[in-house]
Amino acid sequence: MRVRPVLSITLTAVALAFAAVACSDEPAVTAAPTGGTPSGSTGQTGSPSSEPPWGLDTIDMPDDAQAVEATLGAFPEELEGVQRADVSATEVSYGDGSTFVRAIDLAQAQAEGFPSTVPGYLDLLESSGEVQVEDKELNPNAGFVYLVSTSTAQDSPDADARDTFDAAWGASGGAWLFVASASSPEEREALANAFLGAVSAA
């Protein structure tokens, strides 16, 4: 699988660490109980919102390697008219691969010297200076935390820079962080909605 920086942050230690951790096709199993209630801070139910976090706080996050792989495998074959390009144990991508959802095993991340919690990773990302934050919930006491942002990516030294629309989310006490990157706000929301549907289908 081609290595791409998570949330399209380029040439920074944070991005390189994210990519190294996220692109392993054999994630360690770090099961943690999800319980019987939504992992979000409100426990609300109902239709996904058009505003962040798009209803992601109403579901239990996949929290072991088997559930993560099943969720990514349940993503639709087509997203906003773009065909699914690849799916692995830790990533599903569309089109040329620049539109994706990736799962990061936080136990593996900790072994690489990075934060072992979802709020810790999001704090690190926010403080990197590489993203423009649109919306966030980073309080570790919230059941569900997220960071919605934009950034600029350059896929190779001779490529034109491009804007990306990104999101990262997870249960505060969860074992996995989920990140998404898209070429438009609408596509980013479609990825979030696809994640919701995939969790239900997995």
Q: Does residue 98 belong to any structural domain of this protein?
A: yes
Q: Does residue 69 belong to any structural domain of this protein?
A: yes
The conformation of residue 28, written as its DSSP 8-state character, comes to P
Cβ 169 vs Cβ 199: under 8 Å = no
Q: Does residue 158 belong to any structural domain of this protein?
A: yes
User: 4 by DSSP, 3-state: which?
Assistant: coil
Q: Does residue 31 belong to any structural domain of this protein?
A: no
Mean pLDDT (the chain) is 80
82-87 and 78-79: which strand pairing? antiparallel
| Residue 158 in this model has a pLDDT that exceeds 70 | yes
Report residue 161's pLDDT band, with 50, 70 and 90 as the boundaries. confident
Q: Does residue 139 belong to any structural domain of this protein?
A: yes
First to last CA, the chain: 23
Please tell me the predicted confidence (pLDDT) of residue 48: 54
Nearest Cα neighbor of 150 from 169, 130, 174 is 130
The boundaries of the domain holding residue 89 are 6-25+40-201
Q: Which helix (H) or strand (E) holds 93?
A: strand 91-94
| Residue 53 in this model has a pLDDT that exceeds 50 | yes
Q: Does residue 35 belong to any structural domain of this protein?
A: no
Q: How many domains does the chain have?
A: 1
Q: Does residue 30 belong to any structural domain of this protein?
A: no
Mean pLDDT of 50-64: 91
Neighbours of 44 (CB within 10 A): 11
Q: Does residue 143 belong to any structural domain of this protein?
A: yes
